[in-house]
């Protein structure tokens, strides 16, 4: 019997059988007692996962991009300014959302594969006044992890609200909402949380909610936090139909996260990343992202000379493993490999075996990756 396809892209990630079973339950009413209990449970568990006692959680039908839009339209008015610290394609997306809503935006870009130093952020805040600062924790285009804890020290006590895109990090890398002074964290279900796509997730600080309440209105209807707030306080109420089955799946995903334990889960992501990279290195493959900037949730892998992107990824797919193409200026020069969520040693080894064979298809001599990964896991 053929093994199922292994999706090793930077999301959606492979979904655990327990989560799939929850997703497959019959669809029920969005105001049925069982769903109301499920939604309440999701909101409570979300607060545990992002480590907050003060934050107000939101779980709505949509994507991480919708959650970004919710953050921006609620927290920044057209006569205010947004500062975006970008580490790649998805960091730049903040400026595109701002432009759509007529919000003045200053974009500070890192060289691809590196990050903006905290000192640069400090200098920018001393130079200009901003209503909010937006940062993507892990940019899936470059594999760069922003130094959030260091940024937190720079932003502590600052008047600007701090918005963090945690889409490729939440539940895989530490995000201490209260301790770091985050004002709004936005994320999606389908990456390190390990659930199917279809749910937009956000957590807002008291300061963020105060900012929204201080505004007469926002240029949005469904993305208005105040329209959703009564439902988050009492899920038996109605504003717009939630993604019922996906929320059941998300609850099971969150159960898995908390059963494993946050610290243990973060440590597993570090071990899996180290093992995958040990295997890649043994094959002579280099990483695009600079040391000290590399996320634990994915790797951006450079091709060696003579390896053609399209045929390589096609060979991988023929072996039942899917990896993602690179984006932007490194398109065709690298591939993106997710290693987050609920994967373990078996998925690492299967992926490395497919990489070995696919390199060999293009004339390379590749072996020893699995042994290198297993040694890193010991």
pLDDT at position 1 is 46
Q: What is the pLDDT along the chain (378 residues), one digit of tens a residue?
A: 467 899 999 999 999 999 999 999 999 999 999 999 999 999 999 999 999 999 999 999 999 999 999 999 999 999 999 999 999 999 999 999 999 999 999 999 999 999 999 999 999 999 999 999 999 999 999 999 999 999 999 999 999 999 999 999 999 999 999 999 999 999 999 999 999 999 999 999 999 999 999 999 999 999 999 999 999 999 999 999 999 999 999 999 999 999 999 999 999 999 999 999 999 999 999 999 999 999 999 999 999 999 999 999 999 999 999 999 999 999 999 999 999 999 999 999 999 999 999 999 988 777 899 999 999 998
CATH number of the CATH domain containing 363: 3.90.1150.10
Same domain as 104, residue 33:
yes
Q: Is this structure's pTM higher than 0.85?
A: yes
Same domain as 178, residue 293:
no
Same domain as 265, residue 231:
no
**Domain for residue 324, yes or no?**
yes
Domain finish residue from 225, 260, 295: 260
Same domain as 277, residue 153:
no
Task: Give residue 74's domain range.
Answer: 18-260
Same domain as 291, residue 195:
no
Domain finish residue from 239, 260, 281: 260
Q: Three-state secondary structure along the chain? A: CCCCCEECCCCCCCCCHHHHHHHCCCCCCCCCHHHHHHHHHHHHHHHHHCCCCCCEEEEEECCHHHHHHHHHHHHCCCCCCEEEEECCHHHHHHHHHHHHCCCCEEEEECCCCCCCCHHHHHHHHHHCCCCEEEEECEECCCCEECCHHHHHHHHCCCCCEEEEECCCCECCECCCCCCCCCCEEEEECCCCCCCCCCEEEEEECHHHHHHHHHCCCCCCCCCCHHHHHHHHHCCCCCCCCCCHHHHHHHHHHHHHHHHHCHHHHHHHHHHHHHHHHHHHHHCCCCECCCCCCECCCEEEEECCCCCCHHHHHHHHHHCCEECEECCHHHCCCEEEEECCCCCCHHHHHHHHHHHHHHHHHCCCCCCCHHHHHHHHHC
CATH number of the CATH domain containing 248: 3.40.640.10
**Domain for residue 47, yes or no?**
yes
pLDDT at position 370 is 95
Same domain as 247, residue 104:
yes
Domain finish residue from 207, 239, 260: 260
**Domain for residue 222, yes or no?**
yes
**Domain for residue 1, yes or no?**
no
Same domain as 122, residue 171:
yes
Same domain as 360, residue 230:
no
Same domain as 310, residue 198:
no
pLDDT at position 300 is 98
Same domain as 41, residue 170:
yes
pLDDT at position 378 is 84
pLDDT at position 363 is 83
pLDDT at position 355 is 97
- Give the count of domains, the chain: 2
pLDDT at position 148 is 98
Same domain as 299, residue 245:
no
Same domain as 288, residue 348:
yes
């Amino acid at each position: 019997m053929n093994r199922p396809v292994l999706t090793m892209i930077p999301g959606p990630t492979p979904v655990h059988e327990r989560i799939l079973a929850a997703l497959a339950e019959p669809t029920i009413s969005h105001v049925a007692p069982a769903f109301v209990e499920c939604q309440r449970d999701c909101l409570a568990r979300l607060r545990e996962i992002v480590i907050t006692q003060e934050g107000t959680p939101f779980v709505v039908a949509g994507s991480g991009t919708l959650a970004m839009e919710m953050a921006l339209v609620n927290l920044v008015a057209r006569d205010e300014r947004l500062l975006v610290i970008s580490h790649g394609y998805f960091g730049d997306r903040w400026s595109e959302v701002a432009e759509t809503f007529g919000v003045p935006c200053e974009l500070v870009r890192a060289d691809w594969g590196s990050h903006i130093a905290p000192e640069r952020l400090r200098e920018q805040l001393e130079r200009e006044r901003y209503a909010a600062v937006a940062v993507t924790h892990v940019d899936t285009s470059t594999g760069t992890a922003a130094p959030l804890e260091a940024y937190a020290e720079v932003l502590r006590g600052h008047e600007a609200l701090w918005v963090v895109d945690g889409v490729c990090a939440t539940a895989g890398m530490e995000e201490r909402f209260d301790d770091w002074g985050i004002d709004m964290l936005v994320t999606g279900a389908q990456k390190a949380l390990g659930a199917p796509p279809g749910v937009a997730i956000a957590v807002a600080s008291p300061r963020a909610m105060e900012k929204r309440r201080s505004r007469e209105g926002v240029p949005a209807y469904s993305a208005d936090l105040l329209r959703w707030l009564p439902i988050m306080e009492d899920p038996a109420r109605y504003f717009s139909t939630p993604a019922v089955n996906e929320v059941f799946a998300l609850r099971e995903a969150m159960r898995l996260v908390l059963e494993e334990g946050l610290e243990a889960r973060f440590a597993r992501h570090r071990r899996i990343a180290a093992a995958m990279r040990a295997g890649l290195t043994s094959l002579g493959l280099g990483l695009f992202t600079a040391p000290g900037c590399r996320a634990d949730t994915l790797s951006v892998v450079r091709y060696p000379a003579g390896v053609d992107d399209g045929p390589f990824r096609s060979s991988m797919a023929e072996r039942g493993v899917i990896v993602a193409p690179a984006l932007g200026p490194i398109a065709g020069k690298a591939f993106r490999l997710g290693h987050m969520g609920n994967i373990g040693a078996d998925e690492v080894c299967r992926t490395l075996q497919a990489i070995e064979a696919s390199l060999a298809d293009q004339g390379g001599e590749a072996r020893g990756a699995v042994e290198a990964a297993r040694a890193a896991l010991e």
